[in-house]
Structures are given as C-alpha cells and as structure tokens.
Amino acid sequence: MSVRFIPCCVLVAGIALLGSGCAPTADAADQKAALTEAQAGEFCGGIAGIPCAAGFTCVDDPNDSCDPNQGGRDCGGICQASEEKKSCTGREPGYTYVSRDPAECPAILFTCPEGQSAFFNDCGCGCKTNACNYNDPARTYVSQDPDQCAVIRFTCPEGQSAFFDDCGCGCTTAP
C-alpha cells in the first residue's frame, strides 16, 4: 500500500463516522419536543408583560376569570405555538390600533371611547366599534351612514331625542 493511500482511507472513514455524529439523536428530538410542550402553556403577559419564548404567542388564558375583552388589561395569559397565518391584517374597518405589537399589549393601559370596546388580536390591540343593532326597538334610524348624518336635518317626535354615532343617526326614546 502506498503511504498516500492510507491517509486518504483514514480521512474517508473518519468523515463517514464523524459526519453521522452531527445528526440529532432520538434522545435530542425527545428533549426538544419536551421543551416545546413545556413552553406551550407557560404563564405570560400580566401587569409585568412577561413575553413568551421565540415561536410562541401570548394568548388569553381561558381557565381564569380575567377577560381582556371585558376591560381586564392586566390579565395573564398562556404561551401558544405561533401560527404562520394571522387572522387579521392590521387594517380592519372599525378597528383603531393602540399598538400593532401583540407582545406589548398586556402592558398598555388604554380606555376606549363610548360606543367602542377593547380588542386584542394577532396584529395588536386597540378599540373597535361595537356592532350596530339596527333592530333596536328603542331607536328609529333616519340614516345608517354617519357621513350623511353630518349633512341632513331631522327632528324627533315629542318624548324622543336625536342620536348620532358610528352606526348612523335618528331618534331614540328619551330615558
């Protein structure tokens, strides 16, 4: 055998043996799965704004009585694996964003004006216009277009008063 041939054989055998040493073992895959399961469901948010690990999103904890959509700004949450697809665009009609970073939302204190309520979604948080109830028996709509309401005149019958909001304008029974 030539002297040059032996180092080449040793080099090829070493690469073959050591190259497979870099592949993840079954134990390593099990440890990674256990870590992922441990991170999912961990506490996040709250008054301290505790973030989730990379690849996870903080969502409302359905097992507690605190509801961020009902004014609970300091609610704690749980970490869930992030999904690639967002259910929002950040430009939904009737939504006004206070923050477009969902990780910041648990630490932000904000109040929505009358006729709006707080929302928290994959694109951030802010205030959304409450759904219009055009079938409310206490209200008679003259127009359902707020822009048109700004330029029309109308009077309400005795015992009723005018209203103007994001749903339109008209007359409502006086309280």
* pLDDT confidence of residue 17: 52
Are 131 and 166 within 8 A, CB to CB? no
Contact yes or no for 112/124 (Cβ under 8 A): no
Residue 77 Cα to chain centre, angstroms: 12
Q: Which residue has the tokens 């029309």?
A: 152
pLDDT given at position 167: 84
pLDDT of residue 34: 44
The predicted model scores a pTM of 0.35
Closest CA to 86 of 115, 114, 57, 64: 57
The domain segmentation of the chain, as residue ranges, is 35-129, 139-173
CA atoms of 55 and 37, how far apart (whole Å):
12
Q: H helices of the chain, where?
A: 5-19, 26-39, 146-149
- Return the pLDDT at 122: 84
Extract the tokens encoding 22: 């870099």
**Among residues 118, 101, 102, which one has the least CA distance to residue 110?**
118
Residue 70's pLDDT is: 67
| Residues of the chain under the 50 pLDDT cut | 20-21, 34-38
